Amino acid sequence: MKKTNIKKNKNIQTAVIKNKTNMNKYSLGFGLSLVVTNLLNAVILVVKEVSSSVMNVMKAALGHHWTTHAVMLLFIFVVLGAVFSIYEVGAKWDSRKLMYYISGSVIISIVIITVYFLPYLIVK
Amino acid sequence: MLNQGFMMSHVLFGVLGILCAVALFMDVLNASGKNYQRIKMLSLAVAVLIVISFLIGGYWYVTYYGAERDIIKAGAWPWAHNFFMEVKEHIFFAMLLLGIYLPIAVYKNIPLTNRKNKNLVLAICAMIILIGIFMEGAGGIISKGVTIGLRG
């Protein structure tokens, strides 16, 4: 009887460990922030290239549109990372899901940026 | 001369960052208690080197690149700026953010012997390496664009 109980407890413990998320709240929070910031990078690029008023505002803000773009992204990454970590957004996520989202966001942003500038490669 | 010095150190720190990412990739593949300290050091090194490369490259781009851009655009390879420089300067942000996130993923995502945790760090390293290789190639094309532009 005792042996059966010990075995049952061990099985329960193993199940709990297997189901438990492997991720620390900072690792997850800043990982999610990375996903959002990567996508925002492509969005900001397209918006500033399409809208000359946005481009002018970004140039005026820190002297160069690229500098403003960089500071905006770093600021958003840090703030969102802190917020997501504190509020433990996506607490049930595991490393695998985060890996897919990070890889996806990087691929999507690279494709948007490349496709946006592709006509300049073809047309002189 | 200062212009060239900034450019060369930007490339140097970028290449060192990529090499550390390659070393980290191999170490994480063989992660154990023995190499965990080295894994932590390498993840920090990647972040620091990429940030230094970003700061130097950013300063060079804002301060010196304007004149070179005009040479490239007047030459036979205007697309070296219009496509490669534009793509490079924006895709670099993905590499920068991945580099900054890397030590957070390593320090706060233990144990690395866990397959899922290991794959997350490996994926980040792989993306840094691939984007880094593109950065180096694009940089080469841009500098060739300047050379061709100067020839007239």
pLDDT per residue over B7-18, tens digit each?
999 999 999 999
3-state secondary structure of A124: coil
Find chain B residues with C-beta within 8 A of A38's C-beta. Answer: 94, 97
The pLDDT value given to residue A107: 98
- Cβ–Cβ below 8 Å for A66 and B79: no
Establish if A19 belongs to a structural domain. Answer: no
Where helices occur in B30-85 by DSSP H, the ranges are: 36-63, 65-74, 79
Q: What is the pLDDT of residues B31-65, one digit of tens each?
A: 988 899 999 999 999 999 999 999 999 999 999 99
Sign of the C-alpha dihedral computed for residues A44, A50, A53 and A57 taken in this order: positive
- Cβ–Cβ below 8 Å for B116 and A96: yes
Share of chain A above pLDDT 90, in %: 69
State the best of A39, A44, A55, A99 to mutate against chain B, taking most chain B CBs within 10 Å. Answer: A99
Which helix (H) or strand (E) segment is B110 a member of? none
The pLDDT value given to residue A7: 57
**Which whole number is the average pLDDT over A21-43?**
91
Q: Quote the CA–CA distance of B137 and B152 in Å, as a whole number.
A: 23
Share of chain A above pLDDT 70, in %: 81
Both tokens of B96, joined, read 């920068």
Tell me the residue range of the domain where A69 lies: 24-122
φ, ψ for residue A5, nearest 5 deg = -65, -45
The pLDDT value given to residue A19: 42
Find chain A residues with C-beta within 8 A of B58's C-beta. Answer: 66-67, 70
- Residue pair A18/A89 in contact by the 8 Å Cβ criterion: no
Using the predicted structure, report yes or no on whether residue A50 has a pLDDT greater than 80: yes
Establish if A35 belongs to a structural domain. Answer: yes
**Which whole number is the average pLDDT over B125-148?**
96
Compare A8 and A104 and report the one with higher pLDDT. A104
Establish if A109 belongs to a structural domain. Answer: yes
Identity of residue A64: H
φ, ψ for residue A63, nearest 5 deg = 90, -25
Select from A106, A117, A118 the Cβ nearest to the Cβ of B94.
Answer: A106
Range name among A100-114, B35-49, B112-126 with the lowest pLDDT average? B112-126
- Residue pair A102/A39 in contact by the 8 Å Cβ criterion: no
The pLDDT value given to residue B133: 97
Interchain CB contact of B66 with A (< 8 Å): no
Using the predicted structure, report yes or no on whether residue A14 has a pLDDT greater than 50: no
For the residues of A52-108, what is the DSSP string, one character each? HHHHHHHHHHHSSHHHHHHHHHHHHHHHHHHHHHHTTTTTT--HHHHHHHHHHHHHH
- Cβ–Cβ below 8 Å for A120 and B83: yes
Sorted by sequence, the CB contacts under 8 Å of residue B12 that are 6+ apart come out as none
Establish if A9 belongs to a structural domain. Answer: no
Q: What is the pLDDT of residues A56-98, one digit of tens each?
A: 999 999 999 999 999 999 999 999 999 999 998 878 888 999 9
Q: What is the pLDDT of residues B122-133, one digit of tens each?
A: 999 999 999 999
The pLDDT value given to residue B32: 87
- Cβ–Cβ below 8 Å for A70 and B58: yes
* Cα radius of gyration (chain B): 18
Q: Quote the CA–CA distance of B138 and B88 in Å, as a whole number.
A: 7
Peptide bond into B78 cis (omega under 30): no
The pLDDT value given to residue A93: 86
Sorted by sequence, the CB contacts under 8 Å of residue B145 that are 6+ apart come out as B72, B75, B77, B78, B80, B81, B84
- Residue pair A39/B97 in contact by the 8 Å Cβ criterion: no
Q: At what angle do helices B115-151 and B65-74 cross, to 10 degrees?
A: 60
Compare A15 and B135 and report the one with higher pLDDT. B135
How many independent structural domains does chain A possess?
1
How many independent structural domains does chain B possess?
1
Using the predicted structure, report yes or no on whether residue B151 has a pLDDT greater than 60: yes
Establish if A78 belongs to a structural domain. Answer: yes
State the best of B50, B85, B93, B109 to mutate against chain A, taking most chain A CBs within 10 Å. Answer: B93
Select from B62, B86, B104 the Cβ nearest to the Cβ of A27.
Answer: B104
The pLDDT value given to residue B108: 82
* CA dihedral angle for residue B90, residue B96, residue B97, residue B100, rounded to 10 degrees: -170
